[in-house]
Amino acid sequence: MIQHGSTDWMAEARCLATGIDYFDLECGLYPALMLCAVCPVADECLEYAIANGITAGVWGGEWGDHLSAYMEQGGVGSTRGGGVPT
41 binds ligand SF4 (CB under 6 A): yes
Measured between alpha carbons, how far is 52 from 54 in angstroms, rounded to an integer? Answer: 6
Q: Does 50 bind ligand SF4 (CB under 6 A)?
A: no
Q: Is residue 20 a contact residue for ligand SF4 (CB under 6 A)?
A: no
User: Of residues 28, 59, 63, 70, which one binds ligand SF4 by CB under 6 A?
Assistant: 59
Our CA angle for 78, 82, 86, nearest 5°, is 160
Among 58, 66, 67, 70, binds ligand SF4 (CB under 6 A): 58
How far is residue 35's CA from residue 74's CA, in Å, rounded to a whole number?
A: 25
